Amino acid sequence: LAMLAAAAAVAGALPPMPDSLAEAANAVREEGRSTWAAYYKHARGFDSLRPLSHRGVNDWGSVGMMAIDCLDTLWLMNLTAEFKQARSIVEEIDYTPAGREARSVSTFEMTIRGLGGLLSAHALSGDRLFLRKAEQLGEALNTAFVPGRFPLPSVSLKKQGAGMHGGGGVNPAEVGTLSLEFHSLARATKRPEFDAGPDDVRRRMAATVTLLNSSLVPLSLKSSGGAHPTGRVSLGAMGDSYYEYLAKTAILDPRLRPTAGAMFKAALLEIEQQLLVPREHGRTFLAEASMNGRRGRPAGGASAAGAPRAPSDKPLFSKILKMDHLACFLPGTIAVALHHGVIPRGEGHEEVAEGILKTCIDMYRMTPSGIAPEILSLGPGNTPEVRRNDRHNLLRPETAESLYFVGLLTGKPRYRRAAWDMFAAFRAGSRASDGAYTSLDDVYAQPSRRRDDMPTFWLAETLKYLFLNFAPPTLLPLDGWVFNTEAHPLRIFPRGAEAAGAAAAAAAAAA
């Protein structure tokens, strides 16, 4: 009842969705324009804008990250002048080792934001400047793939192989979220050496899944491959995009459908068995879990050397009633996997996607601001609750993303209306005076204290997906494009590649 009352109050305070989809799309476009204008005025050429102090900061290795990350959004929104401004920033930056700082950067973040953004801008515009820059950046990032282990979590763009951090373990997202970008780079440059790294990661993850006898993997993996059947399993932070890229790699490259696609299908079945908490009115909570060893043996135990795992030897899971907003990507990934036939229709996956998405929508409607908290928990009686330390909002895109893809799959207009309410709430609660947007400390406070922070994914992802909810579906047909985890659309490889690559895929699976 409290949630319904909050939703009614929020709905009454927000402007209604325009009757015209074009008018709604234009409203989002204007916020894209104002966000870019604030960055260009106060932080041109810097990686990020601090929206309250009106200054630029280089927090991503001085690569002009805001410009790279937002190129395709500006192109899709038909913001021609702004796209040219972003292009001029990219053109001025030297991505070769001579032009780089000595400090290390995250392999994962630089790949999904930087490399993905440049490849997408090239795919959309045909401008070869972006492909040249992508190749330069890709050569540096490719040095993170080293023999005998998962990719190094960080890399020096200047030293390219020297002084990189490689100690400790790794998490599934940071090593499993590189394939779309490197396979696309290999195809665009006709340099198959860029395929080798993600191919090796996929083999190592398949071996890890076999070792665990579980398609759900813990958040801490051994850097050399494998993992103990203990620790936390999550589709939130550190786990999310590993599962996303299993489906999307199978969509991008038809030759990988038998491997990556099969791994996603198996993972989704275990997600549905182990992590879902059904709630009232068709809602579904996507929990985390603790992996607690195996049935009939203590944590860390192992089968006899060389013995196959029996079904009864699967790990034990205990649900943790916590759901990151990050996990709201899953309904959208299920939708595109269904559209492309990676998973079959008619087996309940559609209902799972819509049930989880209802909970994600609730995360917005249950707060006085209409803006979601970072984390939702379940209390006694599976009642939704938000702990005080989880009330912040970072302008995240995952719910807008799933509204777009599930809306395309189902054709239901309620998802578009939810996208409008989300947009209107952000515009009312997060917009700074000069058109930039800010993260919030507490979505339950009225007004919330603002943070001097605007992640590049606000324009790269959140506003892009909100815009696409109202744009014509023909703008980016699903049959031709797949989005990376930073919302950068990449061209799907032609189906003819499936037969040509069958032998290579079989050899990779057997290796």
Exactly one of 181, 240, 270, 461 is catalytic; which is it? 240
Catalytically annotated residue among 30, 109, 390, 434: 109
The single residue of 398, 401, 453, 486 carrying the catalytic annotation is: 398
Q: H helices within 190-297, ranges in order?
A: 193-212, 240-252, 262-274
Peptide bond into 447 cis (omega under 30): yes
354 is catalytic: no
Instruction: Determine the Cα–Cα distance for residues 395 and 400; give it in Å rounded to an integer.
Output: 11
253 among known catalytic residues:
no
Distance (Å, rounded) from C-alpha 396 to C-alpha 373? 10
398 classed as catalytic: yes
| In contact, 248 and 333? CB cutoff 8 Å | yes
Q: Give the separation between CA 221 and CA 244, rounded to whole angstroms.
A: 18
Please state, in angstroms and rounded to a whole number, the distance separating the CA atoms of residues 288 and 257.
27
Q: How far apart are alpha carbons 480 and 325 in whole angstroms?
A: 28
CA distances from 5 to 1, 10, 280, 390, 494 (A): 6, 9, 16, 21, 50
Q: 374, 401, 453, 461: which is the annotated catalytic residue?
A: 374
Structure tokens at 181: 């970008």
Nearest to 2 by CA among 367, 484, 399, 380: 367
Instruction: Pick left, alpha or beta for residue 52 (phi over 0 → left; psi -120 to 50 → alpha; otherwise beta).
Output: alpha
374 is catalytic: yes
Cα gap 253→32, rounded to integer Å:
32
Q: What is the DSSP string of 360-403?
A: HHHHHHTSTTS---SEEEE-GGG-EE--GGG--B----HHHHHH
Beta strands in 211-350 (DSSP E): 230-233, 276-278, 284-286, 288-294, 315-320, 322-324
CA–CA distance, 188 with 35 (Å, rounded to integer): 31
Within 8 A by CB and 6+ apart from 27, the residues are 18, 423
Q: List, by residue number, the catalytic residues.
A: 109, 240, 374, 398
